Amino acid sequence: MALPLGLLASTFATVFLAELGDKTQLAIVTISGTSSRPGAVFAGSATALVLASLVGAAAGGSLSSLIPTNLLQLAAAVGFLLIGMQLIIRSLANAGTPPE
Amino acid sequence: MSDQQESVNTDNAGEVSAAAAGWGAVFVTTATTVFLAELGDKTQLAALLLSAQSGQPLVVFAGASLALICSSLVGVVLGRWLARLLAPELLERLAGILMVVLGLWLGRQAILTLPNFS
């Protein structure tokens, strides 16, 4: 069986374009820019993204009836808020101390 | 404020506690945030549509995974590039504001799509 490169490429293009500028990618930019461990950020985000799409593909169209995706998104929203407020507080605290 | 920083590791000048966090902590934080945010998102919808039409879910999954890995690599590189351009305090403040805005927007979406609210 020939490798279905066309389907592979079309899936890649669709998902990659859909992800560009997405909230997830913005979050990755944020975490990467403010953390000194880009390797861990890359490994964590790549694992989570592949896992999430695996769950989505395995569950098929019935995902929303299996998992309360709204509640998961709400939890993610709280996580975003917490990280954001932590960064703002940290930047304000650092601005008070004189640089080297 | 200084009395609250006793528990925070401030011995490295310029290094703040979260920046000095361990590899595992950064991995878990990133993975949890991204996983929760991404479940039930448009990426999955696209993947599901393609797999339903093609009947080759493994190929679709491989393509989607490669794209997601590449997109997170782009995000990480972009973040490191910004970190070189901007002062840490400025970047942290901008990033914090961005995360709060994203959190509010994501929370609003999640609440609006709750069954009780429609």
**Rounded CA gap, B89 and B77, in Å?**
19
* Structure confidence at residue B7 as a pLDDT band (50, 70, 90): very low
Contact of B9 with chain A, judged by CB distance below 8 Å, is answered with no
What average pLDDT does the structure give for chain B?
75
Closest CA in chain A for residue B81: A33
- pLDDT value at residue B79: 93
Is residue A76's pLDDT more than 60?
yes
Candidate from A7-11, B75-79, B89-93 with smallest mean pLDDT: A7-11
**Are A44 and B38 a contacting pair at CB < 8 A?**
no
For the residues A65-91, what does the mean pLDDT come to? 82
Burial of A36 (0-12, 13-18, 19+ CB in 10 A): middle
**Are A52 and B39 a contacting pair at CB < 8 A?**
yes
**Rounded CA gap, A5 and A11, in Å?**
10
Tell me the pLDDT tens digit for each residue of A20-61. 888 888 889 998 988 889 999 999 999 998 888 777 666 655
The CA–CA distances, whole Å, from A30 to B10, B68, B83, B99 equal 22, 17, 10, 8
Any idea where the domains of chain A sit in the sequence?
9-61, 68-100
User: Which residue in the set B13, B36, B71 is minimally distant from A19, CB to CB?
Assistant: B71
Closest CA in chain B for residue A81: B100
User: Chain A: nearest CA to B48, how far in angstroms?
Assistant: 6
Show the tokens assigned to B70. 């590449």
| Lookup result for tokens 């304000």 | A92
Is residue A3's pLDDT more than 90?
no
| Lookup result for tokens 């009395």 | B3
User: Chain A: nearest CA to B94, how far in angstroms?
Assistant: 8
- pLDDT value at residue A73: 80
Is pLDDT larger for residue B74 or for residue B53? B74
Inter-residue contact A27 to B33 (CB < 8 Å): yes
- pLDDT value at residue B41: 67
pTM over 0.80: no
- pLDDT value at residue B16: 44
